[in-house]
Structure formats: structure tokens, C-alpha cells
Amino acid sequence: MHRRSTKDSATDRPGVAGHLWGALCGVLSGGLTLGVGSLVASFLVRSSDPVLGVGQEFIARTPEWLKEWAIRQFGQSDKAVLLGSLYGTLVVFFVVLGLLARRHLRVALAGVTVLGVAAVGATLNRPDATALSWLPSTIGTVAGALALVLGTRALRRRGRGPAGGALSRRSVVLGGVAVVAAGSAGAGAAVTSSRSVAQARSKIVLPKPASPAPALPPGIDTVEGITPYVTSAKDFYRVDTALSVPQVDVSSWSLRIHGMVDREVSVTFEDLLAEDLVERWTTMTCVSNEVGGNLVGNARWLGVPLTLLLDRAGLDRDADMLLSRSSDGFTISTPVADATDGRDSMIAVGMNGEPLTDVHGFPARMLVPGLYGYVSACKWITEIEVTRFDRASAYWTDRGWAREAPIKTAVRIDVPASFGQVRSGATVPVAGVAWAQTRGISGVEVSVDSGPWRAAELLPSVGKNSWVQWTVGLDGLEPGNHTLRARATDGTGQLQTEAVAKPIPDGSSGWPSKLFTVV
């Protein structure tokens, strides 16, 4: 009895050093689980990465209001925040397991196993899962469990903390090296894959369009602080469900059009470039854009007219929906009527004179002017299934967003800045952008402190599918706080609605306002 209790005293009450060792053991085990998992995943399918799998599953199961909140709160960094909190949770989880392992190794092992099973489930649930998707999480879990067993054994054998012996110290170093090696090999493989895609992309020479876009007219971008008329790919907003940007191998890529068609059509990237390409200015907008928000951008897109490909396939007259699918299994439903009514719908391969960037859908994406992105703009597109709304549905429409989602007339005030200060006595410049794709903008008006509406000047535009910049100077404002409001009228003479609506289910509405101070 006496002997046992002396032995136990070392493992039961190991002091701070022992706790640290336990926690470290847990972190090493976690690092190995994830590192080895990622490493194996990088050799099989990127999407079978345990963390990405769990993250994607997490996104898919997150309630709508929380997702909305995250996008509003963190904007473009929503994915970084998600991954960060996922890693944080995992670190805490493994520290707890490491501390538990000392006395309840079985419980700790059960914990690792539960996590492993969850990761396997999540990766198998991915739309692009393969027959081997379960493997990375499984091997990672085995590695993590092994680390936990060995680490705990080492501790028990020494009966002391890591300060107690060279073996412990060596195993810490070894474990650490293994984690770093596995992790960096996994990361390295991911970098290599995105590099080879970047390299393939840099070799692409886009042909001159058979039908070019109009040149930019003089007189745009003339107001300081106004949104640049052309949005660069770098500054273009990004919205998608992909935790890691899909890296598509362009040499094996193809787009297949099938379903309710006379004949299936399959085109490679080379096939697309060999067609007569059209180039068009189009402003894209996300349905999640709030009034005054920046999930909107204007670019010069190069691509193959969608109707050319659809005509080749021959649509069944009963078909009313195009179901696009991306390389990562995301789906988008587009009404056939909108896509084929003569607007410049295309399968785009170029943006502002360059091939698409990976973030914006390389090698090809769909574009239908006048429809919010989630019902039109499938990135990394690989498939268009011609079908019917009563037979199929898509990712966001399954989650409560509208089936029909034409872009609503909208205006944004860019100048003055929110809560900006302007000098009294001088003319106050006011400026912004307005859009009503397919209808165009015929006027923008502003009003200060609920005073009379004043017409703004519209700067030149390149067409109805692109936004227009507007500006107006305000004189004689008293020092103090002021509220500015704006409203636009579309090309059909319809004033944009004052009714305030949230983004869900079919886009926000309402007149934007801005507070500024004359000092």
C-alpha cells in the first residue's frame, strides 16, 4: 500500500511540471492528429483534410442568422475567424485530453476517437468525397492516439515531470519535431498544388475578344474618395463556402452540360478559348450586401456566351432551371428564362484582361448580369445540369433564400466618409455609385436633414449592366451634424424602394444614409 501510494503521488499530484507535461502531451497528440491527417490528405484529396472537413461541415450546419452575423461582423475574414476558432477549440480539447490521460488514459483515447470519427464523418459528407476520404482522419487519429499513449507511458515510467529525465525531454523534442514535420509537409504539399495552378494560369494567353467591351469613357473616377469605376481582382469582394480555395487543374478541367438536353456537351478550357469570345462590363452583387455595403464590384469579363453552349446542347422546352455545380460540389440554380433572355450571360474565363484568379473561380465561372451571385455566378464551374425547379434545388435556396433573385436597384454614398468632418464655408462634395443591372440608372438624388431632394450628376457609364458613379456639391451647410440620404431611379423610371429589407431572402433594400459633421 505504502509503495503504491508513493508511486501514485508522483503521477497523481505531479505538480506544475507534471501538468505542463500532460498539457504538452495533449498538444503534441493534437498536432500529430491534424498534421498527419493534413499530410495524408494532401496526397489524396485536399478536401479530405480533417480540419477543413470539420470546418466545412460546421459551415453547412451553422444556422443562417449566425452566418449572416459572421459575414457582417468579419466580412471577408469570416473564414479566417472560423478556422481560428476551430483550431483554438481543438487546442483546448487536446490540452484537456492530455491532462486526463495521466489518470484516465482510456477516457482520453475515447476522446481522440470521438474526434476522429467526427472528422471521418465530416470528410465523407463532403460533396467531393472519394472512396479514400476516410483515410487521412483515420491515420491522423491513430498517430494522435499513439502519441498520447507513448507520452503518458513515458510520464508514468519516470513518475515525474519532464524535468525529471532525459527520456522525457527527448520525447518532447521528438514529438515536437514529428508535429512540425507532418504539419509543414502537409502545408508544403498544399502550397505546391496552388503553385502549380498559379503556374498553369500564368501560361494562359487569353485571345482577343471577337466582340470587345466599350473603352472606358473619359470623366469617370474624377471625384476624390469615390469608388474606382473598375474593381481589380484583388479588391473584388469574395463570397463563397470554400474554406480552402479550390485549386483546379486546367489541363484536366471540363464543363459538362447535361440533363434535359438533346445531346450532352462537354468542353475543355482550350475549347472555350477557341470560341468567339465576348467581353462585357458587368457589376456583380452579393445578395448578402447590406444597404451601403461593399459586396459589389465592377469588372470587364471575357467569356463564351452561355446561350452558344446551351443552343449546342439543345434545351428541352420543359426545362426551367440550370443547376451549376462547382469542383467542390457547391450548387447554384439559375432560371433558364433569365439566363437566355438576351442579356450577356457567359461562361467567363477572364476578368479585367487576365485569366480569373483562383479566388474568383479559375478556370471558369458563370455570369448572368442582373442576378445576385448565389443564383448565377458559379465559380470553379464543372457542370450545368439542365433541369426543373420541381425536381432539383441548390445550396442557398435549400437554406431559405429565394429562387428568383434579380438584383434590386441600389445606391451607395462613398463621400463624405461616415462621421466624416468637412470644413464650413466650402462646398461639400458628395459622391457614390448606383446600380440596377439590366435596367441601368437614370438618376440619383440626395437630401440633407430631410430637406428637398436634389439631383446628382451622373458620370459616364459603360452600359446598363454596370454601376454608375454620381456626384453633387452641397453649399451653405450650417456647422454641426447632418444626415445625408440618397436614392436612385432605374432606367425604366422606377424609384428604388424606401422599404427597408434585410438581405434574406432576396436582397436588402432601403435608402442609405450617412452622418457627417460640418466644423
Ligand X SMILES: Nc1nc2c(c(=O)[nH]1)N[C@H]1C(S)=C(S)[C@@H](COP(=O)(O)O)O[C@H]1N2
119 contacts: CB under 8 Å, gap ≥ 6: 37, 50, 53, 54, 137, 140, 141
379 binds, among Mo ion, ligand X, none (CB under 5 to 8 A by kind): ligand X
- Residue 377 interface partner, choices ligand X, Mo ion, none, CB cut-off 5-8 Å depending on type: ligand X
Binding partner of residue 301 among Mo ion, ligand X, none, CB under 5 to 8 Å per kind? Answer: none
Nearer to Mo ion, 36 or 239 (CB): 239
Indicate the residue whose CB is closest to ligand X. 373
Task: Pick from 374, 401, 470, 511 the residue near Mo ion by CB under 5 A.
Answer: 374
Q: Phi/psi at 163 (nearest 5 deg)?
A: -65, -15
Q: Shortest distance, CB of residue 287 to ligand X, whole angstroms?
A: 7
DSSP-derived pairing of the beta strands 410-415 and 428-435: antiparallel
Site track for Mo ion across 234-263, x = CB under 5 A: -----x------------------------
* From 14, 161, 373, 406, residue interacting with Mo ion (rule: CB under 5 A): 373
Distances (CA, A) of 201 to 167, 188, 226, 362, 409: 50, 20, 32, 8, 36
How many residues touch Mo ion (CB under 5 A)? 5
Instruction: Quote the least distance from Cβ 378 to ligand X, whole Å.
Output: 5
In the complex, the smallest distance separating the C-beta of residue 432 from Mo ion, rounded to whole angstroms, is: 21
Whole-number minimum distance, CB 83 to ligand X, in Å?
16
Binding window for Mo ion (CB under 5 A); candidates: 174-182, 286-294, 381-389, 507-515:
286-294
Amino acid at 459: L
Beta-carbon contacts of residue 368 (< 8 Å; ≥ 6 apart)? 306, 334, 338, 339, 343, 345, 375, 376, 377
Q: Which is closer to Mo ion, CB of 244 or CB of 288?
A: 288
Choice between 236 and 269, CB closer to ligand X: 236
Please identify, using beta-carbon distances, which residue of 239 and 261 lies nearer to Mo ion: 239
Interacting span for Mo ion (CB under 5 A) from 7-15, 19-27, 287-295, 378-386: 287-295
Q: Is residue 71 close enough to count as binding Mo ion by CB under 5 A?
A: no
Residue nearest to Mo ion (CB): 286
d(CA 280, CA 41): 40
Shortest Å, Cβ 262 to ligand X = 27
Out of ligand X, Mo ion, none, which partner does residue 62 contact, by CB within 5 to 8 A per kind? Answer: none
Q: How far is it, in rounded angstroms, from Cα 140 to Cα 120?
A: 10
Q: Which is nearer to ligand X, 134 or 374 (CB)?
A: 374
Question: To the nearest whole angstrom, how small is the minimum distance from the Cβ of residue 396 to ligand X?
Answer: 7
Residue 122 φ then ψ, to 5° = -65, -40
Cell of 313: 446542347
Could you say which residues in the range 426-485 bind Mo ion, by CB under 5 A? none
What span, in angstroms and rounded, lies between the C-alpha atoms of 386 and 394?
13
Q: Residue for cell digits 463564351? A: 304
330 binds Mo ion (CB under 5 A): no
Which one of ligand X, Mo ion, none interacts with residue 126, CB within 5 to 8 A by kind?
A: none
Query: Is the N-terminal amide bond of 416 cis, ω within 30° of 0?
Result: yes
Helix pair angle (50-61, 15-43), 10° resolution: 90
Q: Determine the 3-state secondary structure of 358 from DSSP.
A: helix
Closer of 445 and 506 to ligand X (Cβ): 506
Give the Cβ contact number of residue 509 at 10 Å. Answer: 17
Selection from ligand X, Mo ion, none that 236 binds (CB < 5 to 8 A by kind) is ligand X
Neighbouring residues of 247: CB distance < 8 A, sequence distance ≥ 6: 46, 193, 194, 196, 197, 358
What are φ and ψ of residue 89, in 5° steps?
A: -60, -40
Q: Which does 241 bind (CB under 5 to 8 A by kind): Mo ion, ligand X, none?
A: ligand X
Binding footprint of ligand X on the chain (CB under 6 A)? 236-242, 284, 286, 326, 330, 360, 373-374, 377-380
CB of 379 to ligand X, least distance (A): 4
C-alpha torsion sign, points 207, 208, 213, 217:
positive
Residue 286 lies near Mo ion (rule: CB under 5 A): yes
Residues that bind Mo ion (CB under 5 A): 239, 286-287, 373-374
